[in-house]
Amino acid sequence: MGLIDSFGRRITYLRLSVTDRCNLRCRYCMPAGGVPKLRHGETLSYEDLLRVSREAVSLGIEKIRITGGEPLVRKELVDFAGRVAAIPGLRELVLTTNGLQLTETAAPLRRAGVKRLNISLDSLRPETFSYITRGGELQRVLDGIAAAEAAGFPPVKINVVVMRGVNDEELLDFAALTVDKPWTVRFIEYMPTLREEGWREHCVPGREILRRIGERFPLLPMVSAEMAGPARNFRISGAAGAIGIITPVSGHFCDQCNRIRVTAAGVARGCLFSGEGLDLKPLLAADDHDLLRRGLRSLIVGKPGRHHLENGDVGDGTVAMSRIGG
Ligand SMILES: Nc1nc2c(ncn2[C@@H]2O[C@H](COP(=O)(O)OP(=O)(O)OP(=O)(O)O)[C@@H](O)[C@H]2O)c(=O)[nH]1
Ligand SMILES: C[S@@+](CC[C@H](N)C(=O)[O-])C[C@H]1O[C@@H](n2cnc3c(N)ncnc32)[C@H](O)[C@@H]1O
Ligand code: SF4
Ligand code: SF4
């Protein structure tokens, strides 16, 4: 039967933020000084994350994504991934990363059972990359992608948050990359998660992104795969890879939403932008399967229908992207 919310949506996908820490400070995700760090003990232990994952899978979750902050900065992440991948009934364990540490971790992650990697990469120009990430080194990410390929991962998905005046001049460069590379490059509309003034000027609507690429390359729409995320995908005629558009702002995909989240602080959230959450820590402390299951079910029943970003409403703003994991 699985998990059905009050809008009739089947919930099959859990995103786990395993840490709020990160080795970058991307401008669209964190303020320059970072966000106040959770203390040790405020983050769920791997044991607790596993308990939540097992209960969620037994209730009907089929896909788990490990995210962060930067998930690979948490110690013993590979071992944890192996334990999640081994949960009976789980169909897919996947991971979203900034790619900085993949040269060391890609092969062990693959052996641990991670099925696919999504990698954030917002510029192909070293200086712009360093500007956006406040100091990141582009070559390390490119080496990380090469390591993922060498480790036998299926072609990666590249996440590009498009910001007008910052990296939107690179739309065609990213699109051209998919002609030879089998990667899926996904352009994401910039969301105002930092409650910043003037965000609309930076946000490039998905239809404009498609128009600008379409003026140079003929784009053929692709059919969505099972368990696909929020992207609409296209292929340049004859290309090895694909282009995806994620339009949380201009064309929300909430009516097809299939996901719930657990933040780095151990709070389950029905929506990326919902104010309320369910603190899992007391439920885990009570050591009662039923209580945890009932909690997860009630979260899904109360899952909001959609966000209201178009009105500038970013929820209560209590959860930074780096704690909720995107
Ligand atoms: N508004 C909104 N944006 C989302 C949601 N899920 C993902 N996004 C956006 O899409 C970005 C990419 O997410 P990923 O971590 O790569 O996961 P995904 O898109 O579900 O990945 P796939 O399952 O591989 O398609 C996120 O960082 C967000 O910016 C969602 O439920 N709501
Ligand atoms: C919060 S990061 C966590 C995982 C990892 N550190 C990474 O960067 O891939 C997950 C995703 O959130 C996206 N993201 C963060 N802030 C965003 C924003 N304001 N608008 C759109 N996407 C955002 C990032 O591009 C990234 O793909
Ligand atoms: S987007 Fe990812 S890599 Fe960039 S600051 Fe946020 S958590 Fe770190
Ligand atoms: S904004 Fe909320 S309801 Fe809409 S797709 Fe994202 S998580 Fe789902």
What CATH number corresponds to the domain at position 84?
3.20.20.70
Residue 15 has pLDDT above 70, yes or no: yes
Q: Is residue 31 a part of any domain in this protein?
A: yes
* Residue 1 belongs to some domain of the structure: no
Asked, for residue 194, whether it belongs to a domain, the answer is yes
Decide if 274 contacts 304 (C-beta within 8 A).
yes
User: Is 203 labeled as ligand-binding?
Assistant: no
How distant, in Å, are the alpha carbons of 13, 22, 71, 75 from that of 5?
A: 13, 33, 28, 35
CA 124-142-147 angle, to 5 degrees, is: 160
> How remote is the CA of residue 127 from the centroid of ligand 2, in Å?
20
Element (H, E) at 110: helix 102-112
Cβ proximity of 115 and 92 under 8 Å: yes
Question: Which residue's CA is the closest to the ligand 2 atom numbered 14?
Answer: 326
Instruction: List the residue whose alpha carbon is closest to atom 22 of ligand 1.
Output: 229
Range of the structural domain that residue 72 is part of: 13-324
Contact 90, 64 (CB under 8 A): yes
**Residues 249, 201: Cα–Cα separation, whole Å:** 13
- Look at residue 247 and tell me if it is in a domain: yes
At residue 313, the pLDDT reads 64
On whether residue 2 sits in a domain, the answer given is: no
Q: Which two tokens stand for residue 156?
A: 């990666």
The answer to whether residue 65 is domain-embedded is yes
Q: How far apart are CA 291 and CA 215, in angstroms?
A: 55
pTM over 0.90: yes
Query: Does the model's ipTM exceed the 0.90 cut?
Result: yes
Residue range 69-82: average pLDDT?
Answer: 98
- SS3 for 167? coil
90 contact partners, CB below 8 Å, separation of at least 6: 53, 57, 61, 62, 63, 64, 84
- Give CA–CA dist 264/17, Å, rounded: 5
- Domain membership of residue 160 (yes or no) is yes
Task: Report whether residue 228 contacts ligand 1, using a CB cutoff of 6 Å.
Answer: yes
pLDDT digits (tens, 9 = 90+) for 236-285: 999 999 999 999 888 778 999 999 999 999 999 999 888 779 999 999 99
**Does 64 reside within a domain?**
yes
What burial class does residue 245 get, using C-beta atoms within 10 Å of its C-beta: 0-12 exposed, 13-18 middle, 19+ buried? buried
Q: How many domains does the chain have?
A: 1
According to DSSP, residue 203 is labeled: B
